[in-house]
Every structure is written in structure tokens, then in C-alpha cells.
Amino acid sequence: MPQVRRELSENIRNVARNLTTSSIRPTVDELDQSRSFPHAHLTALGDAGLFGIAAPPTLGGQMADARSFVGVVEEISRAAPSTALVYTAVLSSCLPLMRHGSEKQKSEFVPKIALGEWKCGVAISTHPGGDQMNGDVIASREGDRFRLDGAIQYVIGAHGLDSFLVRADVKGEGGGPSLFLVRHHDAGFQRGGMDRRLGLASAGIGELRFENCVIGPERVIGGIGKGVEGNRAAQEYLLLGVSAMALGMAQECFDTAVRLLRETQNEYTSTELALIRQNVAGMQTRISAMRAIADLAAFHEDTDPPGIPYPTYRGRIFCLESALEVAASALQLAGGKGFSEEAMIERMLRDARVLAIILSTTEQLKDALGEFIIRGE
Ligand SMILES: Cc1cc2nc3c(=O)[nH]c(=O)nc-3n(C[C@H](O)[C@H](O)[C@H](O)COP(=O)(O)OP(=O)(O)OC[C@H]3O[C@@H](n4cnc5c(N)ncnc54)[C@H](O)[C@@H]3O)c2cc1C
């Protein structure tokens, strides 16, 4: 990577790190307990220019790269996985607009997201073939406009974001799916569902419902039946973001466990300490491997080659499995302190467990990856 890109990426990570310390970490537990959407966190991220890292300067951004995105998500996740997930969804909404929108759509919509004015999420398929959804929205043509009806479950930021890229098939027309940009004030658009959940309590996960929701052609991204590539671009950024989240959560759990161990190491026998050292070294080795594999996935996203995104899928599989392992080991190492004093490890364990089933489960991704490998694709 050229030196100048690396420096930009490091600078952006530092901005995210400082912001996390000053504005995000202090309010995380309160938001998690009240299951409140992190509006203030998103405002702070917008003020710091961090929604603009995928967009070029001409569209209100700073044209960084996927590596910078990974750095920002990792830093936020060390304190607030729910906020990091919502941030990931917003960044992912930029990709289809930038890569597949018309010139008019790009110049009108991308700056609004990049400058933090609009907080746009995605309701797309995240399954490897891109052909399954949790729910269904159908678009019916009405003159040159489209009426959306149906619902999609498990949408990140459903309760909190103000716009969504929604994937829908147009009734009676061939071709692929289409991507519609829906705004919160559009008539016939509603949010609902999912009041209680296992983890990621502040991510506003819920359902989007459409009933007679009419959208004009100017908000069909890339044209009717042309949503496959946009879906793919957003899907891959979501999976990359989730890998970065896993990395940040594992690093935070590890650092906390080591800090607690330093305070208590005099209480252990030399045999116990030998076992602990093995464990600590294994955890750190795994985190290094996660970092390397997430870096490869980011590089893949920046070059955006056609075909199966193997590095992105592998990154998601490995990072999530590793995060669960590291978080569990951290809790074990921290012992009673991990249980009683460090609410963070408990929250990370919950959030990491849920991450492994969202946006396609680890098993579904492995199944698809294995199939691609055997078919020789
Ligand atoms: C918070 C959240 C956010 C989500 N966001 C999105 C989104 O943005 N876009 C989207 O498309 N979906 C999203 N999902 C849906 C998610 O992809 C599904 O929950 C997941 O695919 C499991 O599907 P299911 O609930 O129908 O369970 P099932 O498909 O019935 O799966 C149940 C179990 O069977 C296993 N299984 C299923 N298929 C296979 C296979 N081929 N090989 C091995 N094991 C398998 C699964 O791993 C799981 O353990 C989200 C889900 C959640 C909870």
C-alpha cells in the first residue's frame, strides 16, 4: 500500500479511536441497558467526517479505502458493537449508490450520507447467492412510479435510521431485483417488530413494513432489474464490517483480561501461571491472524474484482469464530472479576454470539464457500 494511503488510513483510525474514548465509551452501558438507539454516537461520527470515508471528495467524502473502514469499525467496536454495526450499515449503503447509481443519484444522494445529513441503512440480501431475504417486498409498476408492499425482518437500524436501500422484485417483470431508496417520511412506510433480543441491544434491529409505499423512478438505484451488483457491493461491505467488529471485540476482551491478570498474577501458583501464559499467547496469536485476514478482505474490497469474494467470506468466517473463542477465553481468564466487575466482557460475549447468526450464519457461509470451491469457481 502506498505510504500516503497508509498514513491516511492510520489518521482516520486515530480519529475514530479518540472519538470512541471521548464520546462513545462513556454512554455505552446506559444505551445497552435501555436498548436505546445511539443517535448521539452517529451525530459525533458524522461531525468527525467518518461517514465520508468511502466517498470521493467531489461527493463530500475523503476517499479513503476499505482498510480505513476496517480501522474505524474496529475502534468503535472496542466500546460499542451496536454503534459499529449501525455505522457499518450506513457505510454499506453508500457503495451501491457510488458504484451503480446514475450520475444524478450519485451527486444528489452520496454527499448527504457522506456528510452525515442522511443516515441510510440497507434492507438487502446478505446470503452468498444474494437470492434469499428474511421477508419479501414486491414492487408494482404504476405509470413511471413503483408501489412497494411487504415487509423485511432483522434490518439493522430499522428503529433509528432515516433512509433505507430496499431490495425488491418488480411484479411481472423479468430481470433481477431492484434497489429502491426509501425515506422515513414516505407514505406507506413503517417500522416495527423485535422489541427484545439477545445482543446488539442498541442497534435498532427490527422490521421494515411497506403498504402502498410509492417511490418515483429517481429513487430506483441503477435502474429497474439492475440491483444485483448493488446488493453485492453492500453485502460485501457488511460482511467486511462484521469481520472488523469481531476483531475489535476480541482485542478489547483480550486487553481487559490481560489487565486483570496483571493485577492478580501473584495469586497463582507457577503451574497455574504456565497454563495462563499458554492461553494468553494463543489468544494473541489468534487476534494477529484475524487482523491479517481482515486486512486481506479489505484489500479485496478495494480492488473489487468480479467473481466470488473469497477473502471477504473467509474473513467473516474466521473472525467471527475467533472472536467467540477469544471472548470466552477472556471471561475464563478474568474469572470472578470477568463475571462481576467487567460488564464489558459479558456484553461482548452476547454481542459476538449474535453476530455469528446475522447477515448469514457462519454455517450458511461455509456451506456456500465449500460449494464454490468444489465447483471450481
Ligand atoms: C440481527 C439480524 C440481522 C440480519 N440482517 C440481515 C440482512 O441484512 N439481510 C439478510 O438477508 N438477512 C439478514 N438476517 C437474516 C439472517 O441471515 C438469518 O437469520 C440467517 O440466515 C438464518 O436464517 P433463518 O433465521 O431463516 O434460520 P434457518 O435458515 O432456518 O437456519 C437455522 C439454522 O440452520 C443453519 N443452516 C441453515 N442453512 C444451512 C446450510 N446450508 N448449511 C448448514 N447449516 C445451515 C443455520 O446456520 C442456523 O443455525 C439477519 C438476522 C438477524 C438475527
Which of 92, 317, 364 should be mutated for ligand 1, with most atoms under 8 A from CB? 364
What kind and span of H or E run contains 94?
Answer: helix 81-100
What is the spatial distance between Cα 159 and Cα 199, in angstroms, rounded to a whole number? 15
Task: State the span(s) of the chain assigned CATH 1.10.540.10.
Answer: 3-118
Are the CB atoms for 319 and 293 separated by under 8 Å?
yes
Distance CA 263, CA 190 (A): 51
Ligand 1 pocket residue status of 19, Cβ below 6 Å: no
Q: Which of 134, 167, 360 to mutate to test the pocket of ligand 1 (most atoms within 8 A of CB)?
A: 134
Q: Which residues contact 367 (CB under 8 A, 6 or more apart)?
A: none
Mutate to test the pocket of ligand 1, among 85, 350, 358 (most ligand atoms within 8 A of CB): 358
Query: Following DSSP, what letter does each residue of 128-191 receive, concatenated?
Result: TTS---SEEEEEEEETTEEEEEEEEEEETTTTT-SEEEEEEEETT--S--EEEEEETTSTTEEE
pTM, to two decimals: 0.95
From 3.20.20.70, 1.10.150.20, 2.40.110.10, 3.20.20.370, which CATH number describes the 122-226 domain?
2.40.110.10
Cα-based distances in Å from 235 to 121, 129, 185, 314, 334? 12, 11, 26, 14, 36
Q: Where does CATH 1.20.140.10 sit in the chain?
A: 229-375
Just give the CATH number of 3-118. Answer: 1.10.540.10
CA distances from 297 to 47, 244, 252, 293, 335 (A): 28, 10, 21, 6, 34
- Stretch(es) of the chain classified as CATH 2.40.110.10: 122-226
CB of 366 shorter than 6 A to ligand 1: no
Q: What is the pLDDT along the chain (377 residues), one digit of tens a residue?
A: 567 777 888 899 999 999 999 999 999 999 998 999 999 999 999 999 999 998 999 999 987 789 999 999 999 999 999 999 999 999 999 999 999 999 999 999 999 999 999 999 999 988 877 677 777 899 999 999 999 999 999 999 999 999 999 999 999 887 789 999 999 999 999 998 766 678 899 999 999 999 999 999 999 999 999 888 999 999 999 999 999 999 999 999 999 999 988 988 888 889 988 989 999 999 999 999 999 999 999 999 988 788 889 999 999 999 999 999 999 999 888 877 766 556 688 888 889 999 988 888 999 999 999 999 999 88
Question: Is the CB–ligand 1 distance for residue 235 below 6 Å?
Answer: no
User: Which atom of ligand 1 is nearest the CA belonging to 122?
Assistant: 8
At residue 256, φ and ψ (nearest 5 deg) are: -65, -45
Distance from residue 47's CA to the centre of ligand 1 (Å): 35
Residue 141: CB atoms within 10 Å: 13
Domain 229-375 has CATH 3.40.50.2300: no
Tell me which residue has cell 494473541: 284
